[in-house]
Amino acid sequence: MKKRFSLSTVVALMLLVAAVTFILTFLEVRDQLNRGLEDSSFQQSQAAKYNLARKYIGEYFVREVDGEELEDAAIKGMVSSLGDKWSTYLDAAKFKAYKEATDSTYVGIGITASDGGDAVLVMEVYRDSPAFRAGLKPFERIIEVDGFSVADIGFGAAAAAIKGAEGTSVRLIVLSEDGNERKVDVVRAVIPREIVTSEILTEYNIGLVRVADFETGAYAEFREAVTTLQEAKVGGIIFDMRMNPGGKLSELREILDMLLPEGTIFISRDRAGKEERYTSDASEVNLPMVVITNSATYSAAEYFAAVLREYGKALIVGEATTGKGYAQSTIELGDGSALVLSTIEYFTPMGKSLALTGVAPDVEVIMSEDDLRHFRTLTHEQDNQLQAAIETLKGSIIESGGTLPTPTPEPTPEPDDGGDDVEKGGSTMSESLIEDAIKEKLTGDSRKNALDLVEFLHANEMALDSNNDDGEGWAVGGVVGDSAGFMLVNGSEQFPGPWTLWFNSCDFSGPADDGLKETVWAHASPCGKCHAGWEDCGGGDRTIFGKDFQRLCHSPLMFTDPDGRTLESIKKLLLMDK
């Protein structure tokens, strides 16, 4: 028998439900209203406090004050109190420069930089770039950009302000390693560069892919490089992420999607806890991998390394990364100023944040400060982190069931007939001595250009030999035929000063008016006569660029000319002489 309810009972129940709903809604609205009133009361209290402080400063401070500067300082103080080096306040002038800079991604001065705390730390200077021509050096610190202190505006805003429209100038205050400050005006230019470069280390059948950043176009170049290496059937790939400042999330996601199997590749989360996940499809690259990192690897670059390791795709070799785990939003404030505020934290597929912690390597290898200064000019053999990555990857290839190329046996040396130890197109023991001496005795541009010249002689099958039999003043020398070459000399009565590189500028064949000899001679020392005991090449004096130079067998060349003209001219002259 069905139980029936009277109409009055039903109406009473409906009224009860409505009453309960009303009460609950009222209580929630009251709580929200109270919270709003509390927030409003707090904000009013803080505003009154600020206005009172500003009033007293304006009335009683010993000097006149600028009201706009007070407001900027107050906002700057609020942002600074967050303790987040990626967040910053930009006044109207700084924000204008910031927007111009971020609209000119590929225009700048030609440096790679990292966060130096209260300065932009120069890590690398691209050869033939505006920065190179202006004399900037690795490990110098930029402490001011167009009148704005880096300590005030933060690294991100300063790095962006260094960029700008092509043809415009930026004034930098640069602090050298010895503590001297100088003003440097640099004209911005389009910096021609490849984002991704690759090669095959044929001795090991290993691919090497260097990624400069993750800006627009990175994925397309990365895909082409990796596809080429796959088609060449390399046994594994090394990804070099050193000096990589990161870039666009979209480029990073595409690259990770290419390399990784189906699964989560990126997680972002805002303050409210709203989470977004990005996934990859099932296609992947099945090769052993190693990622090289250093302290200038941050943002997308360090995330790349962390995710490949979490998927079991790669080991990490080198040094711990920077530790940037936040994404920033730019919020305009209506008067031309803006906040650049960290609004999103990102996490690896396993839920790990990189903020402040960075990524620690599986195999730690520290690069010396001297090698770091000449990072881009190091040979593969000189790069200790690359060498460690090669050894690590070789182990991974063997563990995965792959094989390594069989080393080519060294040829049996011919018996010594007592003649000069010189060959065309091959290395000799003497040649090794020359390279070792260059690495040991020279630094900076002299070392870089001397090694460049040795490599040039190798490539063009020119003889290279040591010459140590002249006693004091000589270390080793590279000899090309009878009329061209270079040598290292140390301090002596004949050659005062430290170890340096000299170039043999005797008679060259080739057109006399090609301008090449003049370029070399323009950098020679006006000695006036041959050094005692040294044979004059003949030819007497000649006038170049209005100066008299004695044609000596050995004219000093420091190889520090900023535009590189001397080195290129020497190469052309050597080819003529060959």
- What residue spans define the domains of the chain? 23-65, 88-190, 196-323+358-399, 429-577
Q: What is the mean pLDDT of residues 250-272?
A: 95
> Can you tell me the distance from the alpha carbon of 354 to that of 324, in angstroms, rounded to the nearest whole number?
6
pLDDT band at 454 (very low <50, low <70, confident <90, very high): low
Q: Is pLDDT at 482 greater than 60 in this prediction?
A: no
DSSP for 258-292, please give it: HHS-SEEEEEEEETT--EEEEEE-S----S-EEEE
pLDDT given for residue 384 in this prediction: 95
pLDDT given for residue 416 in this prediction: 47
Three-class SS state of 525? coil
pLDDT given for residue 220 in this prediction: 94
> Can you tell me the distance from the alpha carbon of 517 to that of 526, in angstroms, rounded to the nearest whole number?
15
Q: What is the mean pLDDT of residues 32-46?
A: 63
pLDDT band at 469 (very low <50, low <70, confident <90, very high): very low
Q: Tell me, which fold does domain 196-323+358-399 have in CATH?
A: 2-enoyl-CoA Hydratase; Chain A, domain 1 (3.90.226)
Q: What is the DSSP letter of 67?
A: H
Three-class SS state of 256? helix
Phi, psi for 500 (deg, rounded to 5): -150, 170
pLDDT band at 305 (very low <50, low <70, confident <90, very high): very high
Give the whole-number percent of the chain exceeding pLDDT 90: 35
The total number of residues shown for the chain amounts to 578
pLDDT given for residue 545 in this prediction: 24
> Can you tell me the distance from the alpha carbon of 462 to that of 454, in angstroms, rounded to the nearest whole number?
10
Q: What is the mean pLDDT of residues 324-342?
A: 88
Three-class SS state of 224? helix
Q: What is the DSSP letter of 530?
A: P
Lowest mean pLDDT among 214-228, 239-253, 482-496: 482-496
pLDDT given for residue 265 in this prediction: 97
Q: What CATH code is assigned to 88-190?
A: 2.30.42.10
pLDDT band at 566 (very low <50, low <70, confident <90, very high): low
pLDDT given for residue 561 in this prediction: 40
Give the whole-number percent of the chain exceeding pLDDT 70: 62
pLDDT band at 553 (very low <50, low <70, confident <90, very high): very low
To 10 degrees, the CA torsion angle through 315, 318, 323, 325?
A: -30
Lowest mean pLDDT among 8-12, 98-102, 143-147, 267-271: 98-102
Report the chain's mean pLDDT, rounded to a whole number.
Answer: 74
pLDDT band at 146 (very low <50, low <70, confident <90, very high): very high
Q: Is pLDDT at 420 greater than 60 in this prediction?
A: no
pLDDT digits (tens, 9 = 90+) for 65-107: 787 888 888 888 888 888 888 888 888 877 876 665 554 456 8
Higher pLDDT, 545 or 380: 380
Which segment, 104-113, 360-369, 495-504, 569-578, is predicted with the most confidence on average? 360-369
Are 208 and 175 in contact, with CB atoms under 8 Å apart? no
Higher pLDDT, 119 or 458: 119
pLDDT band at 269 (very low <50, low <70, confident <90, very high): very high
Q: What is the mean pLDDT of residues 112-134?
A: 87
Are 266 and 253 in contact, with CB atoms under 8 Å apart? yes
How far is CA 395 from each of CA 190, 286, 315, 359, 388, rounded to the nearest angstrom?
42, 16, 11, 22, 11
CB count in 10 Å sphere of residue 533 = 9
Question: What are the structure tokens assigned to 466, written together?
Answer: 């040591």
Question: Of 435, 507, 448, which is closest to residue 475 (Cα–Cα)?
Answer: 435
pLDDT given for residue 5 in this prediction: 59
pLDDT band at 526 (very low <50, low <70, confident <90, very high): very low
Question: What are the structure tokens assigned to 214, written together?
Answer: 């993750």
Helices (H) and strands (E) in the chain, counts: 14, 25
